[in-house]
Structure formats: C-alpha cells, structure tokens
Structure 1
C-alpha cells in the first residue's frame, strides 16, 4: 500500500507541470482576431422546459455548424452564424425524439434546419457580451439575444491550434415560432444553454 501511495504521489507530481501548462494554455480572457469554425465534438445546444408543472425536461442538439468572425479591435464588426440539423435532436427518449421531429412540433421533414445569424455584438464586461441576432425556427424568424461569456482562449494543449470557448444562454417562447403543441400544460418558455469551442482556421 505504501508503494502504491508513493507511486501515485510521484505520478501526480510528474503530471502537475502538464496540468498547469494545460490550464495556462486556455486561461486568457481575450480572443484574437480571425475566422473560427466550431469544434462539433465540443459543442452543445441544450434546451429545457417545464413539464406539466412536475419537472424540467431537457434535450440537446450537437449536430450544428457555426462560424465566428472575430475582430478584436472592433468587436461590433464580429459576427456569428449557426445552422442546426433539427433531425439531430436528442432527449434520450426515442418516442419523444420522434414526436419532436413530427408535424406536431419541429416537423423536420419540412423544416430540416434552424439558423441563427448575428446582427450586432455588444461587449458588456471583461469576458461577457450580448449577441443579438435573428433566429429562424420552424419557418419563423424572430429576434433573439444571447447572453454570452468567454470561457477561455489560447493554444489547445492537444492539437496546438488556437481555440476560443464560449458559453451562452437565452430564453424563447416556442409558441412564437409556431410550436404551440400542449401549451400551456407543457411550458411555453424554453431555456437555451449553449457551450462551444471554436478553432481558428
């Protein structure tokens, strides 16, 4: 046991510089200018809503493309564009996934994608901002504002590419997009929680 404990301690000590370097690699609170593409393996759009007044239901989209243009000297000239594959919705309940894709709700056969295109970006703090844009869902376009924060940026310790990670939240009323099935028994307000890493091209 003593040998195992000593070996574990040595392993932790040896790994510490690597862990410190990894943490330092993405600790910056600034984002460099450039064209970025979302890393789909590290990006999620999670949606949640009230279910019958008893619980909060969750689902997600992980199949989406997004491009980000950053102008660090004129942030208002930066831009974000996102296209979501609506057929990729996942709740871990197959019957519910099928219902979400049906004409009752997303009607993915008729509306296979949703999109968001920024119209303005406002800096509100050292690592926070508001991204205003147009969300097109179920054939309806409405203005939406994302409250965004920079999680970190820097050289990725694995692929050695420059990466910037962001989190964002917003709330929308699904009935505004013609998705009024079971409202108000099932909540109309939907919270979107977004996390994504972007790789500079």
Structure 2
C-alpha cells in the first residue's frame, strides 16, 4: 500500500530525525506493530504530529505538493470488533502549507466581483471526515469509508489505511496508535474546478499520517 507522496516522505524524514535524537538520548525506537497490544478506548489525535499531504498534477508536467497540518479529532477503537470502531477528524484548511506564497494567496483568495473563489476562499472552514464503515482487510490494514465535508460540500470518500505503529510514546508517556492512509478525491466534486480546462489536475492524491493517543 505504501506509495508516499513527497509531503508524507518529508514528514517521515522529520520523524526519523526525531527518533534518531531520541535514541541518542537513550530512548527506545518504536517496535514492530503488535496489534494485540493495542487497547480499546477513545484516542485523541496528536495535532502536532498529524497531517494530510496532497499532490495535484500541474499542466501535465509535474506534481505540485502541499500539506494540511494540525489535524485534530478522535478515534474510538474497539479491538474486540475493529469494524465497530470509528474516526472523526478535523483538517484545518486556512493554515495550508505550500512552497509558494503566491499560491497560498490564490488558494485563500476571495472570488472576483462576487463570484465564487477559485479554490477555498478567505477564512475557509476546516475539512471534516467522519467514518461510516470500517472493513478490516488484514492484520494491520483496513478500508475506511466515510463522509468528507470540504468547501461546504459533503461527499463519500474511501481511505486505504494501515496501522503504522503502537505503544507508549517515550516522550509523552501516552498510549499511542499511528495510522497511514491514502485516498484520491476530485476537487471539482467540492466546487473547485478552476484551471482544469488548461491542465491543472482535477484528481488530488491525499496521504494521511495521524498519531492518536490517550
């Protein structure tokens, strides 16, 4: 399942540096995933270490990349019946991170003369994902179906997810479960069709990495 876009790869690189620093201080590196050790309960997203990377094709030449950070929300986990688990997360849009200040301005710019914005517009509401079904497909994998509300539009989305780690966080001492996920959406489904006729991609690949803790 692992097909990382650059934002996620960069995030993992930062995580690797953090782990290296922790090991240098004598802390343990994360162990192999042992799903039998994961506890049921309600977990809260560690917003400082949870993000959604996105990638969209630019004029057929290359991919343009960005990040939505500070993901918040909850995971209600039932280890006896994982399909009964649920996730509810909020993804801030206004704080989108991109390499170009000009692009960020465009993403958050109001529409001209009262027209709709090309993208999110000023002061956009956070995106909101709520799971409606979890289908366990392997020891650490699941297909999560849910409703994504973005730009005032709600559409069904399916995420291929994987448990990426579990255990006690050596720094916070909190029980932590990490997940990676991938999905693809069409921005036109959410009212953002600017640039599609001249080659700005409609499909947006999302790479999700979230740490839930309790």
Question: Does 2:63 align with 1:63?
Answer: no
Partner Cα separation in structure 1 for residue 158 and residue 148 of structure 2? 9
Structure 1 segments, 4+ long, off by >6 Å, are none
Question: Does 2:42 align with 1:28?
Answer: no
The one-character-per-residue Cα deviations of 1:53-84 (angstroms, maximum 9, x if unpaired) are 11100001002312110011111221111112
The one-character-per-residue Cα deviations of 1:158-185 (angstroms, maximum 9, x if unpaired) are 2221100000000001111111000141
Let me know the Cα RMSD of the aligned residues: 1.8
Q: Secondary structure at the match of 1:88?
A: coil
Structure 1 residues 98 and 128: CA distance shift in structure 2, 3 A: same
Q: Secondary structure at the match of 1:188?
A: strand
| 1:179-198 superposed matches below 5 A | 179-184=192-197, 185-198=199-212
**TM-score computed with the length of structure 1 as normaliser:** 0.85
**TM-score computed with the length of structure 2 as normaliser:** 0.80
The structure in which a higher percent of residues are strand is 1
Which of these two proteins has the greater Rg computed from alpha carbons? 1
- Is the Cα contact below 8 Å between 1:86 and 1:108 reproduced in 2? no
Unaligned runs of 5+ in 1: 1-14
The one-character-per-residue Cα deviations of 1:135-192 (angstroms, maximum 9, x if unpaired) are 0111111000010000010111222211000000000011111110001410000000
Determine which of 110, 128, 131 is the counterpart of 2:141.
128
Determine which of 48, 73, 77 is the counterpart of 2:84.
77
Number of residue pairs matched by the alignment: 183
Partner Cα separation in structure 1 for residue 86 and residue 179 of structure 2? 14
Unaligned runs of 5+ in 2: 1-22, 110-116
Which residue does 2:56 correspond to in 1?
49
- Is the Cα contact below 8 Å between 1:120 and 1:132 reproduced in 2? yes
